[in-house]
Structure 1
């Protein structure tokens, strides 16, 4: 008797069947918090089967603390004032995946419901896609990530104080056939993991910098693309640590090398016909009026939504000239110096690449912001500014294209954004902006090595 393929699980009944076939006593259940960190637990079979119909409870503290488990002191959604009660989650049967290194173990994802749904990152993306559906569009997307690999462990990096770390490989060797062949077994393992866990990698190669790789994930519907990106980040780190290595997706770990991007490729199709909404063979660069409006929305709202693409203090060290990261809300056609890169092609390939995002962004929030801004541009009938030709870093740009330079400023722009509140809801905007303010305040409490070196003796 053939076993149920996890990728064919669609309903609660399918989920019951595959759990029973495998004789599992426990099932792995996970969800993603505001920082894109996956949390979860092993759930007993009986509880899991009951939760397929009625949901289950999970402490809402995961929406009330930061990436170091420190409790926010400035949020209203939850806190000591509410007692950190349980929130309700729904299981997502069609998220079923095998965990290859745990025998027959299965992983299912969940998302918040009821009051917490307003804050839930996956729920936010889903609501933006429901907006697209109501407008007659389907959204397809894919993310690509740069990440550095180190010959280190969680223990060794702490013993070293995160200094003098040993990269997987030395020197600046982008697209190196030498590196990928010498370490072929590692590449094959990661490619195999991506296939087994259904976040297939379309392309994998070295980037510029010691030990840095870039992985382009395959295109899918935007919600599935968010799931795959979030799982890719999580289980790439798991895979590396199981090999005695470490992978980091922080935006910039060293001032000597380019930062790590999390680029987003997006396209719209007409929901009913399946035809491209972005391609017009008669228009310049194949850009339909709808694609122009979409790009205009992304461009105009970029300064207001930056906190959703650059969510950490470290994110802003990446947004400097000459390091392959945009510094203003610009767009161009096949121009990698701009924040938005329109990629002309056919009805199948015409798309826009949102190049602003860094690898540390929560993929659900970044997708929600990139898509929501574009939809708003369509609704408003906006037109983009003039496209940039040549090197965007060397040009002067209008003041309205300037991006916030700090996380604090970005949080203030988000809080003051009427389109953000209309797209994402007041509850999310208030809560997420407060968490970013907290993040900035945590940073301000610390003394950096740069400050000690600069001021300790001479001032």
Structure 2
């Protein structure tokens, strides 16, 4: 469930487009991290803070942040000329195990360094580290074809070339536990103690008793520029939901990826743990990562989705966009549901869609149209789970919709009432396993058009690897069912 508000026509945050000069500012002017736009700005703020080292990070296939501290001299050189990062981070899984089926990189290539560019406009302060700065980076060269952040950037550029500016807001549910990485491992991830007990959604008691944690989360989000529009308890023990404030699509993905990373950091610094698993227990609902999207016309900054007087205020563009999302959802599913665990969530009655359906203000559908005015007409991609890589999930939600606009597709019939109880056309059925979803992605002509052959082949291979790793292990259910009797 979610309570996201309208998407404004422009971001309240400064434009994230890098510029090449800071000549309009004096050298002595104070510069905050989110004012950094250029290489010159980045050098100036590092010098002003007297930093000897700077944090640089990027995101792998699974949306996990990888990075390191870099000396000031090395950082300045990297700003000017780029730097090299071992491409193994695009060739291993979430447990650092090496894919044996990838063509881009592997033992056959020797895992060479790949060129990387630092993005000055992504500068953030790290609140826990006494003035430390963090910059995001992105792969270049051949690695750019399989880099998740670069993939989203290319989809956004395609959207802009079609005459639209995309805006997005992501929201996440996450469970918090009164555990540490050591205690969770010692317990075998069984019988973990939630931060709070019971089912108590939207609880004023919980957020008042534990106001210090809520305030820390809100303050962290403000300082690192992924401001939270709403934060509340959800249904289940220890579960929270945060709606991140809207921004242009690229910035929205950066904010979501940083949110997931640093919520975990904050929790562990407090002796807690936060998980964004799609479903950690059969007893409780899964954890969503819903995406709100809208397009604005670049020529006059009006909503491309809003049409006064039309049914549900939907323009032809929004209907085509909706149709693209609906028709391509089964083909692109493994980019939105990328883990074995993702498919535990997609069962009837637990707030997660099971077919590619749409409805107007209907939270049982995979796509929810939200009527409004010029500033608020949008739709919600409800299929997304908390475990998805934000860059890839947003690339799917935006790219599939844009593809529908390009093709002039029309959506199917809207769902009314409970989508779980209706019978839907076979072509709207979603794959039920990660393996099946990977096969659909490999066979998708639209995916190859939108994302390129290199990315499709690489990511599908990584999901096949994930499925094979799962099959190597014998679970508790198998032992309990077969050990004595069979």
TM over 0.5: yes
Q: Deviations over 1:298-356 (max 9, x none)?
A: 00000000001000000000000000000000000000000000000011000010000
Q: Deviations over 1:141-165 (max 9, x none)?
A: 0000000000000000000000000
1:16 equivalent to 2:53? Answer: no
- Measure, in 2, the Cα distance between the counterparts of 1:239 and 1:2: 32
- Measure, in 2, the Cα distance between the counterparts of 1:50 and 1:3: 23
1:225 equivalent to 2:252? Answer: yes
The aligned counterpart of 1:211 is 238
- Measure, in 2, the Cα distance between the counterparts of 1:114 and 1:130: 18
The aligned counterpart of 1:335 is 362
Which runs of structure 2 are paired with 1:162-181 in the superposition (5 Å)? 162-181=189-208
Match of 2:431 among 404, 410, 419: 404
- Measure, in 2, the Cα distance between the counterparts of 1:22 and 1:196: 16
Which runs of structure 2 are paired with 1:216-365 in the superposition (5 Å)? 216-365=243-392
SS of the counterpart of 2:274?
strand
The aligned counterpart of 2:111 is 84
Q: Deviations over 1:122-175 (max 9, x none)?
A: 000000000001100000000000000000000000000000000000000000
The aligned counterpart of 1:376 is 403
Q: Aligned Cα RMSD in Å?
A: 0.5
The aligned counterpart of 1:94 is 121
- Measure, in 2, the Cα distance between the counterparts of 1:162 and 1:346: 47
Return the offset for 1:2. 5.5
How many residues matched? 459
The aligned counterpart of 1:62 is 89
Match of 1:145 among 165, 172, 175: 172
Match of 1:158 among 175, 185, 188: 185
Match of 1:187 among 195, 214, 218: 214
TM-score computed with the length of structure 2 as normaliser = 0.94
Match of 2:100 among 73, 76, 84: 73
- Measure, in 2, the Cα distance between the counterparts of 1:292 and 1:67: 37
Is there any run of 5+ residues in structure 2 with no aligned partner, and where? Answer: 1-27
- Measure, in 1, the Cα distance between the counterparts of 2:70 and 2:120: 15
- Measure, in 2, the Cα distance between the counterparts of 1:123 and 1:151: 37
SS of the counterpart of 1:328?
coil
Q: Deviations over 1:229-276 (max 9, x none)?
A: 000000000000000000000100000000000000000000121100
- Measure, in 2, the Cα distance between the counterparts of 1:430 and 1:458: 42
- Measure, in 2, the Cα distance between the counterparts of 1:53 and 1:375: 35
- Measure, in 2, the Cα distance between the counterparts of 1:356 and 1:59: 33
SS of the counterpart of 1:457?
coil
SS of the counterpart of 1:65?
coil
Return the offset for 1:53. 1.3
- Measure, in 2, the Cα distance between the counterparts of 1:114 and 1:73: 22
SS of the counterpart of 1:392?
coil
- Measure, in 2, the Cα distance between the counterparts of 1:456 and 1:172: 35
SS of the counterpart of 1:307?
helix
- Measure, in 1, the Cα distance between the counterparts of 2:298 and 2:59: 28
Q: Deviations over 1:263-293 (max 9, x none)?
A: 0000000012110000001200000000000
Return the offset for 1:56. 0.4
- Measure, in 2, the Cα distance between the counterparts of 1:174 and 1:454: 35
- Measure, in 2, the Cα distance between the counterparts of 1:38 and 1:112: 13
